[in-house]
Amino acid sequence: MTSNLNNDATLLIGLVSVSDRASGGVYQDQGIPALQDWLARTLTTPFRVETRLIADEGAQIEATLKELVDQQRCHLVLTTGGTGPARRDVTPEATLAVGTKEMPGFGEQMRQISLHFVPTAILSRQTAVIRETADHAALILNLPGQPKAIAETLGGLKDAEGATLVGGIFAAIPYCIDLIGGPYMETDPAQCKAFRPKSALRAPAN
C-alpha cells in the first residue's frame, strides 16, 4: 500500500447509524446528525458525506461498510451504535470482518474517555480497522451512540480554562488517513487540533 493513492481526491466520509428502532422508524436517528454537526464544526478541509441508517444485522453492516469503501470510495467511515454486549450488538464483529488491519488503539482511547463519565464504559466494544483494496484504503471507526458521547469521544475533554484533559481520537485521524493514501485533512484547532509529525506537515491551504 503506497502513501499517495488518493491524496488529491475530495475527502469523502461515510456515516453509518446502526439501530433497529431508528431504521424501523420507531424514533428519529440522532447519531448521523450529531456526526454531521461535529464534522462541520471541526473540519476546515472541504468534504462530502454518504449516510446510511441500517438495522443491527451483521450481514447488512458488513455489506454497507464494503459498499462505502469499495464502491463509494470513502476515505473515513464512522459508525454509531451497536457496540455494547447485548445480543443484537454486532457492529464490532461486522467491522472486524471487513477489515484488513485492526487498529486497537482507537477503541482503547474511546473507553478511556468514556470512563471519565460512566463506569459502564468498560462494556463498550468499540474498535477500528483499515480496509484495503488494490487501489484504495479507508479507516473505519465504531463510535458511541449518544450525541454527547460522540462529541466527547471525537474531540476529547477540556477543563474550564480550555486545557486538554484527555485527547480525543480525531486528533490522530488525519495523519492516519495520510498514511493510507487519503486526502490531507485539516481541522479547526479550537475544536480539535490534528497531530502530525513535523515531516508530515503541509503549508496551510489558501
157-197: pLDDT as tens digits:
877 777 777 889 999 999 999 999 999 999 999 889 999 99
H helix runs in the chain, sequence order: 20-23, 31-42, 58-66, 91-98, 104-114, 147-155, 173-179
The domain 11-200: what is its CATH number?
3.40.980.10
What pLDDT does 117 receive? 85
Residues paired with 12 in a beta bridge: 48
| pLDDT, mean over the chain | 91
CB-based burial, 108-129: b 16+ in 10 Å, e otherwise: ebbbebbeeeeeebeebbbbbb
Distance CA 156, CA 190 (A): 12
127-142: pLDDT as tens digits:
999 999 999 999 999 9
CA angle, 155 as apex, 104 and 184 as ends, to 5°?
75
